[in-house]
Chains A and B, each alone.
Chain A
Amino acid sequence: MTIQVLNPGLQTTIQATPRIGMRHLGVPASGAADPLSMALANRLVGNDLLAPALEVLLAGMSFRAEVMMQIAITGATASCTVNGETAQLYATLQLAPEDEVHIGPAEKGARSYVAFAGGLLADDTLGSRSTYLPAGFAGFEGRALQKGDQLNLAEADHTVEMLQTPAEFRPPMTDSWTIRAGRASETGLLQDADQLFAARFTIGNRSDRMGLRLEGAKFDIRSDGRMPSAPVFPGTIQCPEDGELFVLAVDAGTTGGYPRVAKVARLDLHVLGQLRPGNQLMLIERTDADAESELREKQQYWNAWLPGVERII
């Protein structure tokens, strides 16, 4: 039960569950940058929502199926083909031996997800199979896939239905995003905190699974660069002395010394995985209480198609 990587693209990694409860050892979460899209792919092939799947960055990738298998592709808007014939996103696809699957470059959004019925077999390190590139562990040999890699699949222990994701459960992809966020521990150091929720940011080129640069707005901050290092989390927005914000993502470090001026609300963290350089972003302010009640509403909505979505968003 294998696939062979024909073209690995820019960066394709195996992602699965995040690492939880290890941040005090300096071990970040990892897992899918957009776990909602990964869960939607796993749903279409009957897997656990967090079963190991491929995360494909921007440029696409291609592989060959060595045996019969069922897969599903979700996430970024991209032209995908099987043996040159157009293949649908958000649908269970039946592959025959020797079929070649090509995930095209992302047109909108940043990451595609490919799930395989049964799930990919992957290395488990510190309690998860999610690749953590900075330390080179878990997933496939702790690294991004390369041409010629052979990946093994677990045999599906369930009958795979041919499904399509209902239209209302396909997250829209765009070039202009809004994300809900709230104030954080050092918001008060900003000369003008309201600017956080009025600025139009552009996602910078230096953006990856560790964090995203928010360009296009400079902030005045009262900071001498000597703040004692403090805990940070995916979604924490920091402001160094140069006044250009960055938002931390799934592979980000666990402590940091730049003022924490805002935090993306839990319910919109998955969106960070689809922001790409050049995209526009606005932050919408939410109180803790509103962020909590809107999370419950969002979970309730998604539960209709993704039972167990509380583990995802």
Chain B
Amino acid sequence: MLSAGDDLISISVANPREAQDLALRLRESQAYLEVVAGLDSVVVQFDIASKDRNEMEKQIAEVMALPGSTRATAQPVVEIPVCYGGEAGPDLADVCEQLGVTQEEFIALHSGREYQVDLVGFTPGFAYIGGLDKQLNVSRRQEPRVCVPAGSVGIAGGMTGLYALQGPGGWPLIGRTSFILFDAAADNPFVLVPGSKVVFVPVAAM
């Protein structure tokens, strides 16, 4: 457990599943302003004007000492159509060159398996999806883009990221989907949640 800023406590965990599980259990308490899971950490924000850091750390340690949940709920598989490369995925050619694969090989590797959503974050509905084929591990762009179109599909650090909204972004873009990932007006605005199962289905056009 480490300070991550004046009102933040960061807890390292082994993987996204543990992060989600710990965050869920911490969120049962009303003591924190925010409990946010990352891929290998959970960060708690607390009100430093009314709460003591040592006391917060003690409470978190108590929750961590309890056994985690091993619940696995059956999830339907969500099919996400992806138009790979071209204008929809402006970085696909570069990524393939970097990885030494053809675009056809890339698409076969990327769409040929079932994934699970590890994390929803960044912007409303942005889904981090782990389990990418080990051959497809690339890094983020050195300079983030100012404007990534909604529906863009990026990869970085062994993950696929789905940009629900238009906005800035640093992941190389390999394609785009017409699938609506976030709808503020819907009863349930968040279509994908941590644990959702997804497959990518190549389509010729948006």
**A contacts, CB < 8 Å to B:** 20-21, 23-28, 125-126, 134-137, 142, 182, 184-185, 206, 210-211, 224-231, 233, 235-236, 240-242, 253-258, 260, 263, 265-266, 286, 288, 291-292, 295-296, 299, 310
A230 to B2, CA, bound (A): 14
B5 touches A257 (CB 8 A): no
Whole-angstrom distance from the CB of A20 to the nearest CB of chain B? 6
A184 touches B184 (CB 8 A): no
Contact of B139 among A135, A210, A224 (CB under 8 A): A224
B87 at the interface (CB under 8 A from A): no
Interface members, chain B 142-185 (any A CB < 8 Å): 142-144, 146, 156-159, 164-168, 170, 182, 184
Contact of B126 among A142, A227, A231, A253 (CB under 8 A): A253
Whole-angstrom distance from the CB of B83 to the nearest CB of chain A? 23
Using Cβ atoms and an 8 Å threshold, which residues of chain A touch B119? 229, 255
Write the chain B residue with the least CB distance to A287.
B6
Of B29-37, B95-103, B108-116, B196-204, the segment with at least 4 beta carbons within 8 Å of chain A is B29-37
Contact of A225 among B2, B36, B48, B140 (CB under 8 A): B140
Contact of B184 among A136, A242, A266, A292 (CB under 8 A): A136
Interface string of B17-50 (1 = CB under 8 A from A): 0000001000100000111111111110100111
The 8 closest A-B pairs by CB, nearest first: A263-B5, A225-B139, A255-B121, A230-B38, A291-B6, A228-B39, A231-B36, A231-B43
A268 to B189, CA, bound (A): 33
B34 touches A20 (CB 8 A): yes
Whole-angstrom distance from the CB of A95 to the nearest CB of chain B? 33
Contact of B123 among A28, A142, A310 (CB under 8 A): A28
Using Cβ atoms and an 8 Å threshold, which residues of chain B touch A125? 184
Contact of A24 among B2, B7, B37, B158 (CB under 8 A): B37
B84 at the interface (CB under 8 A from A): no
A228 to B126, CA, bound (A): 15
B48 touches A230 (CB 8 A): no
A231 touches B41 (CB 8 A): yes
A contact face: mostly helix, strand, loop, or mixed: loop
Given contacts A26-B126, A182-B5, contact A229 B38 (CB under 8 A): yes
Write the chain A residue with the least CB distance to B20.
A24
A266 touches B7 (CB 8 A): yes
How many chain B residues sit at the interface, stated as a range, is 35 or more
A185 touches B36 (CB 8 A): no
A257 to B41, CA, bound (A): 12
A156 to B135, CA, bound (A): 63
Whole-angstrom distance from the CB of A220 to the nearest CB of chain B? 14
Whole-angstrom distance from the CB of B10 to the nearest CB of chain A? 5
Using Cβ atoms and an 8 Å threshold, which residues of chain A touch B85? none
Write the chain B residue with the least CB distance to A224.
B139
B61 at the interface (CB under 8 A from A): no
Given contacts A288-B5, A295-B49, 12 further A-B contacts (CB under 8 A): A20-B33, A142-B184, A225-B139, A225-B142, A226-B156, A228-B40, A229-B159, A241-B142, A242-B142, A255-B119, A288-B53, A291-B6
Using Cβ atoms and an 8 Å threshold, which residues of chain B touch A24? 23, 27, 34-37, 120-121
Whole-angstrom distance from the CB of A219 to the nearest CB of chain B? 14
Using Cβ atoms and an 8 Å threshold, which residues of chain A touch B43? 230-231, 233
A292 touches B48 (CB 8 A): yes
